[in-house]
C-alpha cells in the first residue's frame, strides 16, 4: 500500500470507504474519489471532498449566526434604560460570545477550512459542529476545579469505568469510535499503551481540538458562558486547556481520523480492540448494524469495550430503542462472548460553573470476538431455529439452505437466487432494491422471502 501524502497515520491501515481499494495521496484510483486532510488529520468519507464543502458551509452558517447575535447585543447595549448591573452582564456575555466565535473560526481555519456557503446545502437541515462544545470543556477544562460529584474528577471516573470491565487488556491496535474531544481515548492510550490508537469522529471542531491538544501539543482557550441566571456561580469563564502530560512521547502513536462510523476507511479485521463511548444511542442508525461494523473491523479474538447511556433520539423508531439485554443478545448473535458488564448512575456534564447537570445511567460491557463461528442450528422445534442469528443480524451471511418458493413470486425467486452462503440479507436487499417500487423496504421483503414463517404473503 502507498502511504498517504501529508497524513500522519499508521501505514497500511487506510482503505477507500467507497470501493475498498488502496488509496494514495488523497486519491482512490479504483473509484476516482478525492479525500482531504483537516490540518493533518486524514478525512475519508463516502462523500469525498463534499464533506469538506459541508464543513465549510457549516462554518459560514456559524459565522453569520454569531455575527447576528453580537450585532443584536450591541443594539441592546445602546439602550438608555439599562441598569449598570444589566449592562455589566451583557458586556460579559458579549465578550465571551465574541471570544468563542473567534476561537472556533480560528481553529477551523487553522485546519485548512474556509468559511463559505455552498448552494448544494442551502435547503438541507445542517447540524452545528459546536453542538458538543461543552464536551471539550468536560474533557479538558473542568478537571482544573474540585468536583463534588466524583472522588477525583469525571475523566478519572470514566477511565476507571472502562478499566473495570476491561479486566485483562491487550489493546494491540486500538480503534476508538466516536472519540469526540479525545480525552478518554488519550487516557486509555496512556494507561494501556497499545501499538497505536486511532481516535475517529465525524465532527471537525472536536477532531481539531483533540488533535491540537494531544498530537500537536498546543494549548487551547475556550470561554464558558451560561445565559440563564444562577445564584452563587460565575457567569462566565475563559478556560486555558493545556496539552496532557506525556513524558514518554506516547502522543506519537495516537492518531485522529475523520470518518463516518457507518463507512469506516479501515480494512476488515485490521484492529485488535474497539472502544465505543457514548455512541450506541446517538448514531441515528440501528445498533445491530453498528455491532456488525465493530465485528467487521475487529480481528478474531479481538476485544470490544462499550460504555455510555441508552438515550436514543426521538427520531429513531421505537422498535430500534433496544434494551441492554437486547444489545447483549445481538452481540452474542454477532459472534461475541460478553465477559463483563456493569451499570452505574452518574452526574453528567456537571460544570463547576453550572448548578444544573444530567443524571445518567451508564451501561458498560466488554466482549471478545470469537475465533470460530458457532455451528449453524439444526432444523427442529427450538427457539434458535425459529429465529436464526443471520435473520436478526442482517450483515451475517445467509446460509445455503433448501428454500422453496411455493407462491412462485418473481421477487422471491430473485432473492433466493442470490443466496450463496456468503451474501447477507443486507447485501441481497441492496441488490434487489432497484427492482422494487419506490418506498418498498427491500430488507423486510428479503427477510420474508428467505424465512416464510415471518409472513405468508411472500413480502
Residue 18 maps to a domain: no
Confidence (pLDDT) at 325:
96
pLDDT digits (tens, 9 = 90+) for 48-70: 999 999 999 999 999 999 999 99
Confidence (pLDDT) at 336:
96
| SS3 category, 24 | strand
User: Is there a single domain that holds both residue 63 and residue 198?
Assistant: no
User: Is there a single domain that holds both residue 181 and residue 277?
Assistant: yes
pLDDT digits (tens, 9 = 90+) for 217-229: 999 999 999 988 8
277 secondary structure, DSSP code: E
User: Is there a single domain that holds both residue 255 and residue 111?
Assistant: no
CATH of the domain at 206: 3.40.50.150
Confidence (pLDDT) at 43:
96
Residue 196 near residue 266, CB atoms below 8 Å: no
Residue 20 maps to a domain: no
Confidence (pLDDT) at 452:
58
pLDDT digits (tens, 9 = 90+) for 238-250: 999 999 999 999 9
User: Is there a single domain that holds both residue 290 and residue 395?
Assistant: no
Residue 160 maps to a domain: yes
Confidence (pLDDT) at 57:
95
Per the model's pLDDT, the better-predicted residue between 209 and 418 turns out to be 209
User: Is there a single domain that holds both residue 139 and residue 268?
Assistant: yes
Longest dimension (CA), the chain: 84
Residue range 277-300: mean pLDDT, rounded: 93
Picking from 69, 41, 37, 325, the residue whose alpha carbon sits closest to that of residue 208 is 41
Report whether pLDDT(5) > 50.
no
User: Is there a single domain that holds both residue 187 and residue 161?
Assistant: yes
Query: What is the band of 183 on the pLDDT scale with cuts at 50, 70, 90?
Result: very high
Residue 162 near residue 179, CB atoms below 8 Å: no
User: Is there a single domain that holds both residue 72 and residue 214?
Assistant: no
Residues 304, 5: Cα–Cα separation, whole Å:
31
Judge residue 247's burial from the number of C-beta atoms within 10 Å of its C-beta, 0-12 exposed, 13-18 middle, 19 or more buried: exposed
Query: What is the band of 289 on the pLDDT scale with cuts at 50, 70, 90?
Result: very high
User: Is there a single domain that holds both residue 183 and residue 220?
Assistant: yes
User: Is there a single domain that holds both residue 178 and residue 105?
Assistant: no
Query: What is the band of 277 on the pLDDT scale with cuts at 50, 70, 90?
Result: very high
C-alpha grid cell for residue 148? 463534588
Confidence (pLDDT) at 1:
35
Report whether pLDDT(459) > 60.
no
Confidence (pLDDT) at 354:
93
| SS3 category, 42 | strand
Residue 26 maps to a domain: no
Per the model's pLDDT, the better-predicted residue between 381 and 14 turns out to be 14
Residue range 176-197: mean pLDDT, rounded: 97
Confidence (pLDDT) at 44:
96
Residue range 331-349: mean pLDDT, rounded: 95
60 secondary structure, DSSP code: H
Per the structure, the complete domain to which residue 163 belongs is given by: 129-369
Residue 41 maps to a domain: no
133-140 vs 183-192: helix crossing angle, rounded to 10: 30
Confidence (pLDDT) at 408:
57
Report whether pLDDT(430) > 90.
no
Q: Where are the alpha helices (DSSP H) in 31-153?
A: 50-77, 84-110, 133-140
**Neighbour-count burial for 377-400, b at 16+ CB within 10 Å, e otherwise:** eeeeeeeeeeebbbbbbbbbebee
User: Is there a single domain that holds both residue 134 and residue 113?
Assistant: no
Residue 377 near residue 392, CB atoms below 8 Å: no
Confidence (pLDDT) at 404:
59
Picking from 383, 423, 381, the residue whose alpha carbon sits closest to that of residue 400 is 423
Residue range 71-75: mean pLDDT, rounded: 96
The CA angle 301-302-305, to the nearest 5 degrees, is 135
Distance of CA 240 to the CA centre of its chain: 26
Residue 331 maps to a domain: yes
Residues 6+ apart with CB under 8 A from 218: 212, 243
Residues 366, 165: Cα–Cα separation, whole Å:
6
Report whether pLDDT(279) > 90.
yes
Query: What is the band of 442 on the pLDDT scale with cuts at 50, 70, 90?
Result: low
Per the model's pLDDT, the better-predicted residue between 443 and 38 turns out to be 38
Residue 250 maps to a domain: yes
Report whether pLDDT(458) > 50.
no
Report whether pLDDT(166) > 80.
yes
Query: What is the band of 3 on the pLDDT scale with cuts at 50, 70, 90?
Result: very low
Residues 403, 416: Cα–Cα separation, whole Å:
7
User: Is there a single domain that holds both residue 239 and residue 266?
Assistant: yes
> Among 19-23, 261-265, 453-457, which is the least confidently predicted range?
453-457
Residues 217, 237: Cα–Cα separation, whole Å:
23
Residue 103 near residue 36, CB atoms below 8 Å: no
pLDDT digits (tens, 9 = 90+) for 359-414: 999 999 999 999 886 665 554 444 444 567 777 877 777 777 666 555 556 777 77
Handedness of CA 292, 298, 299, 300 (dihedral sign): negative
pLDDT digits (tens, 9 = 90+) for 121-153: 888 888 888 889 999 999 999 999 988 899 899
Q: Is 169 left (phi over 0), alpha (psi -120 to 50) or beta?
A: beta
Percent of the chain with pLDDT over 70: 89
Q: Is 294 left (phi over 0), alpha (psi -120 to 50) or beta?
A: alpha
> Among 35-49, 100-114, 154-168, 365-379, which is the least confidently predicted range?
365-379
Residue whose C-alpha cell reads 465578550 in the numeric block: 95
Residues 155, 136: Cα–Cα separation, whole Å:
12
User: Is there a single domain that holds both residue 141 and residue 261?
Assistant: yes
Amino acid at each position: 500500500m502507498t502511504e498517504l501524502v501529508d497524513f500522519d497515520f499508521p501505514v497500511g491501515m487506510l482503505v477507500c470507504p467507497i470501493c475498498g481499494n488502496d488509496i494514495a495521496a488523497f486519491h482512490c484510483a479504483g473509484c476516482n474519489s478525492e479525500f482531504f486532510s483537516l490540518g493533518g488529520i486524514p478525512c475519508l468519507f463516502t462523500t469525498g471532498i463534499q464533506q469538506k464543502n459541508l464543513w465549510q458551509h457549516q462554518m459560514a452558517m456559524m459565522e453569520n449566526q454569531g455575527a447576528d447575535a453580537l450585532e443584536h447585543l450591541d443594539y441592546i447595549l445602546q439602550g438608555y434604560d439599562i441598569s449598570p448591573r444589566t449592562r455589566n452582564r451583557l458586556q460579559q456575555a458579549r465578550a465571551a460570545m465574541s471570544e468563542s466565535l473567534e476561537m472556533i473560526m480560528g481553529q477551523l481555519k487553522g485546519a485548512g477550512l474556509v468559511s463559505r456557503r455552498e448552494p448544494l446545502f442551502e435547503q438541507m437541515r445542517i447540524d452545528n459542529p459546536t453542538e458538543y462544545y461543552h464536551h471539550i470543556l468536560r474533557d479538558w477544562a473542568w478537571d482544573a476545579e474540585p468536583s463534588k460529584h466524583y472522588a477525583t474528577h469525571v475523566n478519572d471516573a470514566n477511565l476507571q469505568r472502562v478499566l473495570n470491565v476491561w479486566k485483562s487488556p491487550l489493546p494491540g491496535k486500538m480503534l476508538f469510535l466516536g472519540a469526540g474531544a479525545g480525552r478518554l481515548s488519550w487516557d486509555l492510550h496512556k494507561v494501556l499503551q497499545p501499538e497505536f490508537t486511532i481516535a475517529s469522529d465525524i465532527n471537525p471542531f472536536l477532531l481539531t481540538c483533540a488533535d491540537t491538544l494531544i498530537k500537536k501539543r498546543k494549548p487551547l482557550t475556550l470561554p464558558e458562558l451560561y445565559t440563564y441566571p444562577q445564584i452563587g456561580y460565575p457567569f462566565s469563564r475563559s478556560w486555558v486547556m493545556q496539552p496532557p502530560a506525556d513524558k514518554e512521547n506516547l502522543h506519537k502513536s495516537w492518531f485522529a481520523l475523520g470518518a463516518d462510523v457507518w463507512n469506516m476507511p479501515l480494512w476488515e479485521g485490521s484492529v485488535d480492540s474497539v472502544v465505543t463511548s457514548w455512541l450506541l444511542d446517538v448514531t441515528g442508525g440501528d445498533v445491530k448494524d453498528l455491532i456488525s461494523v465493530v465485528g467487521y473491523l475487529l480481528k478474531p479474538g479481538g476485544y470490544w469495550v462499550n460504555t455510555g447511556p441508552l438515550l436514543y433520539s426521538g427520531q429513531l423508531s421505537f422498535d430500534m430503542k433496544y434494551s441492554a439485554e437486547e444489545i447483549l443478545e445481538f452481540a452474542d448473535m454477532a459472534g461475541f462472548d460478553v465477559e463483563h458488564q456493569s451499570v452505574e448512575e452518574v452526574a453528567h456534564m456537571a460544570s463547576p460553573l453550572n448548578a444544573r447537570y444530567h443524571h445518567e445511567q451508564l451501561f458498560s460491557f466488554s466482549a471478545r470476538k470469537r475465533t470460530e463461528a458457532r455451528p449453524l442450528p439444526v432444523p427442529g422445534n427450538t427457539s434458535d431455529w425459529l429465529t436464526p442469528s443471520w435473520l436478526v443480524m442482517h450483515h451475517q451471511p445467509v446460509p445455503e439452505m433448501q428454500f422453496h418458493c411455493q407462491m412462485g413470486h418473481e421477487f422471491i425467486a430473485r432473492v433466493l437466487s442470490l443466496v450463496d452462503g456468503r451474501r447477507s440479507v443486507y447485501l441481497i436487499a441492496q441488490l434487489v432494491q432497484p427492482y422494487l417500487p419506490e418506498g418498498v423496504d427491500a430488507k423486510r421483503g428479503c427477510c420474508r422471502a428467505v424465512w416464510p414463517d415471518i409472513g405468508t404473503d411472500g413480502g
